[in-house]
Structure 1
Amino acid sequence: MDEVERKAIGILRGAFEQSGMTQGELADKVGVARTTILKTFAGSRATYISEFEGIAKALGLSPWRVMRQAEDALEAAPSNVLRFPATSRQENQREADAMIAEQRYAASQLKTGEKDAPQYPDAD
Structure 2
Amino acid sequence: MNLFEKYGGADFWSDFLNTVYENLTASKYTRHHFRSKNISHIKEMLLALLELTLASNAEISEASMREAHRDLGISNEEFDEWISIYRQALSDYKVADQDCVYIIDILSSYRRSIVRYI
Q: Taking structure 2 as the reference length, what is the TM-score of the superposition? A: 0.27
Q: Taking structure 1 as the reference length, what is the TM-score of the superposition? A: 0.26
Pick 1 or 2: higher relative contact order, CA cutoff 8 A, min separation 6: 2
Determine which structure has more spread, i.e. the larger CA radius of gyration.
Answer: 1
